[in-house]
Amino acid sequence: MRAHFMWRWVMGFMLLGLLAGCQPGGSHASFIGTDLTGTHFGKPLTLTDHTGKLRSINDFKGKVVVLFFGYTHCPDVCPTTMSDLKQTMKLLGDKADDVQVLFVTVDPERDTQEVLAQFVPGFDARFIGLRGTPAEVAANLAEYKVYAAKVTEPGQSGYTMDHSAGLYVFDKTGAPRIYLGYGEKPANIAHDLKLLM
């Protein structure tokens, strides 16, 4: 992800964290990530999973949900983040069953159901990949304030996707609670998830 976009999104979530801290009972200094308690997103995410089933984030109430937006052709950020989430699940041990990781593609053109079915569960069989039409994906990106744009390089075939690379964490009621920036260590992710269990 390009540095100027990363800086813009980091500043945005720092502001969200400050606003959340002003809410009564909204301060959770023990979170390592940015506290989103008291903030609100738009309508719940609704997309098709890698088995062809229509899913809503509301389907996972009762679990802590970790939402990550990425794409399977990503050269480094996405596989690194998914590997970190795999390690996080190992650190959680038996508590990992109370967590649902959702990988939402920002590249529905290439990330077909079959591609997601190979990529996402390859990190952990419990992880779910989500996709939709370009219009459906764009609508969900807007609801969650996620940046994504196709990038082509002169003289090169194909393209990459410039995109936001953090993790949204929702508590067991489906409320947004934490934002964790790219590169957060698995131990720190596990720490914050345990606080919501």
| Known binding positions | 74, 78, 163
Q: Which of 58, 62, 193, 56 is nearest to 130 (CA)?
A: 56
Query: Taking the C-alpha atoms of 33, 36, 41 and 46 in order, what is their torsion angle to the nearest 10 degrees?
Result: 40
What residues form the annotated binding site for Cu cation? 74, 78, 163
Structure tokens at 18: 């400050």
Which residues make beta-bridge pairs with 18?
none
Exposure letters 49-69 (e unless 16+ CB within 10 A, then b): bbeeeebebebbeebbbbbbb
Work out the angle at residue 14's Cα, subtended by the Cα atoms of residues 13 and 15, and round it to the nearest 5 degrees. Answer: 85
Residue in this structure with the two tokens 């990425």, named with its chain if needed: 70
